[in-house]
Amino acid sequence: MSSKATFSLVFYINRTKARKNGECPIMLRININGSRVTMALKRHLDPQNWDSGRNQMKGRTDQARLFNDYLDSIRVRAHKKYNELLTAKEEVLASDLRDAILGIQTAKSRNLIETWQEHVNGLKQLIGKESSYATYQKYNTAKNHMQVFLRKTYKAEDVSIKSVDHYMITRYAHYLKTEMGCNYNTATKFLQNLKRITTLAMRHGWLAKDPFAGITLSLKEVDRPYLTEAELKKLMEFQSPFERLNKVRDFFVFSCFTGLAYIDVKQLRRCEIEHNEGNYWIRTRRQKTGARANIPLLNIPMEIIRKYSILEALQPEDLVLPMPSNQKINAYLKELADLCGISKTLSFHIARHTFATTVTMMNGVPIETVSKMLGHKNITSTQHYARIVDQKVGEDMQLLSQRLGTRLTLAH
């Protein structure tokens, strides 16, 4: 059955709201696909003059003709607005038509990209308060991917939020993995961004059902590359005739011994370095999550700070290290890896993984302590590195077996 077949308008008189003079308000009941609303038409009539069979005023007087012409104009306006809504929305509710007749803008269909852009704009305004640039950038990039998908697949710049269904989501996932070349986890993260938008739409009443119902968006465990102690030693002992490579090596090593991500090193200010009981500490908030990170500065990162800054001469808001762009650093790191004979593809984030594994956990620092220094909001994030500890446990037990084997033997 088509949606038009379940659309009806009924005029009636509300006898329960009679005025003192006995006149009752004229009402319009709108029925669309099971949804129903009523609205007052700002007209009153003596019940004796109402023709309940024809839903209009009785008689052929000029007053009756004018009254019924008004009802006809409402009927024509309702049909016109209903047809307009049908072209703009996947599903039209009775309340949508009532609002359209009254000229209320909430009847306008909410579109996907429009809603997404509003969310992105809100995140941008909250940068440094409740949001971060990385979060804003993530949602903006995800929105751009969805817009390209809509252009290619639906030949549209935007679509109704109600058109997001299981079929569209699976097509989008396929597009991300094929045409965009995203791996499983990257595609899943973009789908999680889309789900955030549909969840907001449901909370605002723009979407009745969850289009992600039955769709699992869990990420797969991935290897987190890191430098072994031998590889880190190679890098630390490397000297280049090019100052740019020595600088990048220093900044990478600084992250290996502090666990700070690129953006946190780049934006590290003098006021975030505190001196307490003879030791220097970095006390900062991670740009990505806003979580606190408290890191005692070991000798090596302090040497690097002293190499590039005079802490005592810096103002509280001055930057501590002269970091190049992330793009340049990652390009130079690949050069360094080749020159040092390191086969791994180096990126700045590998330094953070190296801190969590080679520098701390492999040297017996408890996972709870590592979690606090990394600025993880929960220890689950830190447990991804626990597999490295398992490797160390195996190596330690092998050494123990060799030692015990010389002292303790079983009689045969």
Same-domain pairing of 90 and 179:
no
The last residue of one of the domains, among 168, 203, 238, is 203
Quickly state the pLDDT bin for 4 (edges 50, 70, 90): very low
Provide the mean pLDDT of the chain.
87
407: in domain: no
Tell me which amino acid residue 355 is: F
Considering the domain architecture, whether residues 238 and 376 belong to the same structural domain is answered as yes
Which of 91, 107, 123 is a domain's end point? 107
- How much is the pTM? 0.57
Distance between CA 93 and CA 53 in Å, rounded?
A: 27
Q: pLDDT higher for 31 or 129?
A: 31
Exposed/middle/buried for residue 322 (C-beta within 10 Å: 0-12, 13-18, 19+) = exposed
Greater pLDDT, 51 or 100: 51
97 and 132 belong to one structural domain: no
In this structure, is residue 38 part of a structural domain? yes
Q: Evaluate whether residue 212 is within a structural domain.
A: no
Give the residue with greater pLDDT, 308 vs 202.
308
User: How confident is the model over 320-360, as pLDDT tens digits?
Assistant: 999 999 899 999 999 999 999 999 989 998 999 999 888 98
Q: What is the per-residue pLDDT for 271?
A: 93
Confidence (pLDDT) at 391: 63
The reply to whether 398 falls in a domain is no
DSSP percent split of the chain into helix, strand, coil, nearest 5: 55, 15, 30
Q: What is the pLDDT of residue 3?
A: 41
Residues 263, 362 within the same domain: yes
366 and 299 together in one domain: yes
The confidence band for 86, taking pLDDT boundaries of 50, 70 and 90, is confident
- Residue count of the chain: 412
In the predicted model, is pLDDT for residue 231 greater than 80? yes
CB 100 within 8 A of CB 88: no
> What integer is the mean pLDDT of 310-316?
91
Residues 100 and 127 reside in one and the same domain? no
H-only helix segments in 155-256: 166-178, 184-203, 229-237, 243-256
pLDDT, position 362: 83
- pLDDT of the residue at 258: 93
Instruction: Please check whether residues 376 and 240 belong to one and the same domain.
Output: yes
> Which residues does 84 contact at the CB level (< 8 Å), separation at least 6?
100
Query: What's the number of domains the chain is made of?
Result: 3
382: pLDDT confidence band, cut at 50, 70 and 90?
confident
Residue 194 counted as domain residue = yes
Tokens 């099971």 correspond to 34
**What pLDDT score does 109 carry?**
63
Is the domain of 160 the same as that of 173? Answer: yes
Q: Are residues 320 and 370 in the same domain?
A: yes
pLDDT confidence of residue 364? 81
Most confident of 97-111, 261-275, 287-301: 261-275
Residue span of the structural domain in which 39 resides: 4-107
Q: Indicate whether 395 belongs to any domain.
A: no
Position 216 in a domain:
no
Give the other-Cβ count within 10 Å of 330's Cβ.
Answer: 18
Helix or strand run (H / E) with residue 30: strand 24-32
Q: Which of 52, 75, 107 finishes a domain?
A: 107
Domain identity same for 380 and 260: yes
Q: Is residue 136 located within the same domain as residue 186?
A: yes
Same domain, 359 and 250: yes
Query: Do 290 and 132 contact (CB within 8 A), yes or no?
Result: yes
Report the candidate in 208, 297, 188 with the shortest Cα–Cα distance to residue 253.
297
In a domain, 132, yes or no: yes
Please say whether the beta carbons of 73 and 164 come within 8 A: no
pLDDT of residue 1: 38
Q: What is the CATH number of the domain that holds 263?
A: 1.10.443.10
Q: Please indicate whether residue 84 or residue 121 has the higher confidence score (pLDDT).
A: 121
Q: Place 233 in a pLDDT band, splitting at 50, 70 and 90.
A: very high
User: Which has the higher per-residue pLDDT, 407 or 108?
Assistant: 407
